Structure 1
Amino acid sequence: MIPIFKPKMNKAEILPELEKIFDLGWIGLGNKTAEFEKKFANYIGVKYAVGVNSATAALHLANLVLGIRKGDEVIVPSITFVSTALAPLYCGATPIFADIEEDTLCINPTDIERKITSKTKAIIPVHYGGHACRMEEIMKLAKENNLWIIEDNAHGCGGKYKDKMLGSIGVIGCFSFHAVKNLPTGDGGMITTNDEVIYNKLNKLRWLGIDKDTWTRSAEKGYSWRYSIDSLGFKYHMNDITSVIGLAQLKVLDEHNLIRRKYANKYDEAFKDINWIETPVEKNYAYSDRHNYVIKVPKRNELHEYLQTKGVSTGVHYEPIHHFKVFKEVKADLPVTERVWQKLLTLPLYPDMSETDFEKIVGEIIKFGEINSL
Structure 2
Amino acid sequence: MRMNAEEVKSKQPKIKVDRVSKIFGRDPKRGIKMLEQGIGKEEIMKKTRLAVGVNNASFEVAEGEMLVVMGLSGSGKSTLLRCLNRLIEPTAGHVYVDGVDVTALSDAELRRLRQKKFGMVFQRFALLPHRTVQQNTEFGLEIQGMDAAQRAEKARSSLKLVGLEGWEDSYPEQLSGGMQQRVGLARALAVDPDVLFMDEAFSALDPLIRREMQDELLALQSRVHKTILFITHDLDEALKLGDRIIIMKDGSIVQNGTPEDILTNPATEYVEKFVEDVNLAKVLTARTVMHKASTVTFPKDGPKTALHKMKEVGISSILVVDRDRRLLGRVSADDASRLAKQNETSLESIILRDVTTVRPETPINEIFAEQEFPVAVTDEEERLQGLIVRGSLLAALAEGRLSS
Q: Give the structure with the higher percent strand.
A: 2
Structure with greater contact order relative to length (CA < 8 Å, sep ≥ 6):
1
Q: Which has the larger radius of gyration?
A: 2
TM-score range, shorter chain: under 0.3
Q: Which TM-score applies when normalising by structure 2?
A: 0.23
Q: Which TM-score applies when normalising by structure 1?
A: 0.24
